Amino acid sequence: MVLQCAIQPEAEEDSGLISSAVRRLTDENLVESDAFASLTITFCPLTGATGIVPSPGRIFLDDGLRAMSADGLAEVIAHEWVHTQQFERLGQREFKCAYVRAVTACGGCQDRQHALEAEAYATQDRIRDQLLGRSGITPPD
Protein backbone atom coordinates (compact mmCIF):
# COMPACT_ATOMS: atom_id res chain seq x y z
CA MET A 1 0.00 0.00 0.00
CA VAL A 2 2.78 2.46 0.86
CA LEU A 3 4.56 1.63 -2.42
CA GLN A 4 1.41 2.67 -4.27
CA CYS A 5 1.48 5.96 -2.37
CA ALA A 6 5.08 6.60 -3.29
CA ILE A 7 4.31 6.46 -7.02
CA GLN A 8 0.75 7.83 -7.02
CA PRO A 9 0.57 11.47 -8.17
CA GLU A 10 -1.18 13.80 -5.75
CA ALA A 11 -4.45 15.29 -6.97
CA GLU A 12 -4.53 19.08 -7.27
CA GLU A 13 -7.46 19.44 -4.85
CA ASP A 14 -5.61 17.32 -2.31
CA SER A 15 -2.61 19.62 -2.29
CA GLY A 16 -4.99 22.56 -1.76
CA LEU A 17 -6.53 20.97 1.34
CA ILE A 18 -3.13 19.99 2.69
CA SER A 19 -1.79 23.50 2.01
CA SER A 20 -4.77 25.03 3.82
CA ALA A 21 -4.19 22.80 6.84
CA VAL A 22 -0.47 23.61 6.94
CA ARG A 23 -1.26 27.34 6.64
CA ARG A 24 -3.56 27.05 9.68
CA LEU A 25 -0.65 25.69 11.68
CA THR A 26 1.88 28.25 10.51
CA ASP A 27 -0.35 31.34 10.24
CA GLU A 28 -1.54 30.81 13.82
CA ASN A 29 2.10 30.33 14.94
CA LEU A 30 1.26 26.88 16.28
CA VAL A 31 4.24 25.39 14.43
CA GLU A 32 7.32 27.22 13.13
CA SER A 33 6.71 28.64 9.65
CA ASP A 34 9.64 26.72 8.12
CA ALA A 35 8.68 23.38 9.73
CA PHE A 36 7.05 22.08 6.55
CA ALA A 37 9.49 23.48 3.99
CA SER A 38 11.26 20.17 3.43
CA LEU A 39 8.26 17.86 3.98
CA THR A 40 6.19 16.13 1.31
CA ILE A 41 2.64 15.43 2.48
CA THR A 42 0.39 13.23 0.33
CA PHE A 43 -2.96 11.46 0.62
CA CYS A 44 -2.76 7.70 0.25
CA PRO A 45 -4.95 4.65 0.98
CA LEU A 46 -3.79 3.42 4.40
CA THR A 47 -5.10 0.53 6.46
CA GLY A 48 -5.48 0.98 10.19
CA ALA A 49 -3.83 4.40 10.39
CA THR A 50 -4.75 8.02 9.74
CA GLY A 51 -1.17 8.86 8.86
CA ILE A 52 2.30 7.42 8.58
CA VAL A 53 5.84 8.75 8.31
CA PRO A 54 7.63 6.07 6.26
CA SER A 55 10.85 8.04 5.96
CA PRO A 56 12.26 11.40 7.01
CA GLY A 57 10.57 14.27 5.20
CA ARG A 58 7.56 12.21 4.02
CA ILE A 59 4.04 12.09 5.47
CA PHE A 60 1.24 9.94 4.05
CA LEU A 61 -2.32 10.76 5.17
CA ASP A 62 -5.17 8.30 4.76
CA ASP A 63 -7.52 8.99 1.84
CA GLY A 64 -10.42 9.05 4.30
CA LEU A 65 -9.13 12.36 5.69
CA ARG A 66 -9.95 14.21 2.46
CA ALA A 67 -13.40 15.02 3.86
CA MET A 68 -11.97 16.76 6.95
CA SER A 69 -11.91 20.48 7.54
CA ALA A 70 -8.57 22.28 7.28
CA ASP A 71 -8.46 22.53 11.09
CA GLY A 72 -9.20 18.82 11.54
CA LEU A 73 -6.52 17.90 9.03
CA ALA A 74 -4.11 20.38 10.65
CA GLU A 75 -4.17 18.51 13.95
CA VAL A 76 -3.49 15.18 12.20
CA ILE A 77 -0.62 16.76 10.25
CA ALA A 78 0.76 18.18 13.52
CA HIS A 79 0.72 14.65 15.00
CA GLU A 80 2.62 13.23 12.03
CA TRP A 81 4.98 16.24 12.03
CA VAL A 82 6.05 15.20 15.55
CA HIS A 83 7.12 11.84 14.12
CA THR A 84 9.25 13.64 11.51
CA GLN A 85 10.92 15.50 14.39
CA GLN A 86 11.50 12.19 16.16
CA PHE A 87 13.13 10.88 12.97
CA GLU A 88 15.46 13.89 12.99
CA ARG A 89 16.21 13.63 16.69
CA LEU A 90 16.84 9.87 16.79
CA GLY A 91 17.98 9.16 13.25
CA GLN A 92 16.14 6.91 10.81
CA ARG A 93 17.39 3.56 12.09
CA GLU A 94 16.99 4.38 15.78
CA PHE A 95 13.53 5.90 15.27
CA LYS A 96 12.29 2.75 13.55
CA CYS A 97 13.86 0.52 16.21
CA ALA A 98 12.52 2.65 19.07
CA TYR A 99 9.06 2.63 17.51
CA VAL A 100 9.01 -1.17 17.24
CA ARG A 101 10.42 -1.57 20.77
CA ALA A 102 7.64 0.67 22.12
CA VAL A 103 4.98 -1.28 20.19
CA THR A 104 6.33 -4.48 21.73
CA ALA A 105 6.56 -2.97 25.22
CA CYS A 106 2.90 -1.96 25.25
CA GLY A 107 1.58 -5.20 23.78
CA GLY A 108 1.15 -4.04 20.19
CA CYS A 109 -0.38 -0.65 20.88
CA GLN A 110 -0.02 2.43 18.72
CA ASP A 111 -1.86 4.76 21.05
CA ARG A 112 -1.02 7.01 24.01
CA GLN A 113 0.56 4.08 25.87
CA HIS A 114 3.28 4.04 23.18
CA ALA A 115 6.06 6.47 24.16
CA LEU A 116 6.62 8.01 20.70
CA GLU A 117 2.89 8.16 19.99
CA ALA A 118 2.22 9.81 23.37
CA GLU A 119 4.45 12.72 22.37
CA ALA A 120 2.65 13.06 19.03
CA TYR A 121 -0.81 12.85 20.64
CA ALA A 122 0.13 15.51 23.20
CA THR A 123 1.04 17.89 20.36
CA GLN A 124 -2.13 16.97 18.47
CA ASP A 125 -4.24 17.69 21.57
CA ARG A 126 -2.51 21.05 22.13
CA ILE A 127 -3.01 22.07 18.49
CA ARG A 128 -6.68 21.03 18.59
CA ASP A 129 -7.30 23.05 21.75
CA GLN A 130 -5.56 26.10 20.31
CA LEU A 131 -7.40 25.92 16.98
CA LEU A 132 -10.76 25.46 18.74
CA GLY A 133 -9.99 28.32 21.12
CA ARG A 134 -9.10 30.66 18.27
CA SER A 135 -12.28 29.81 16.41
CA GLY A 136 -14.39 30.75 19.44
CA ILE A 137 -15.23 27.16 20.40
CA THR A 138 -14.51 26.11 23.96
CA PRO A 139 -12.38 22.94 23.95
CA PRO A 140 -13.82 20.05 26.01
CA ASP A 141 -12.22 19.27 29.37
Q: Which residues, other chains included, contact 70 with Cβ-Cβ below 8 Å and sequence gap of 6+?
A: 17, 20, 21, 23, 24
What structural domains does the chain harbor?
2-134 (3.30.2010)
The Cα–Cα gap between 89 and 6 comes to 24
Provide the residue-wise pLDDT of the chain in tens; the chain has 141 residues. 454 565 555 544 467 999 999 999 999 899 888 889 999 999 999 988 899 999 888 999 999 999 999 999 999 999 999 999 999 999 999 999 999 999 999 888 888 889 999 999 999 999 999 998 865 555 555
The Cα–Cα gap between 57 and 69 comes to 23
The Cα–Cα gap between 71 and 130 comes to 10
Backbone angles phi, psi at 21, to 5 degrees: -65, -45
pTM of the prediction?
0.85
pLDDT of residue 33: 82
pLDDT of residue 71: 95
Contact status, residue 35 vs residue 53, Cβ threshold 8 Å: no
pLDDT of residue 137: 57
pLDDT of residue 66: 94
Contact status, residue 18 vs residue 70, Cβ threshold 8 Å: no
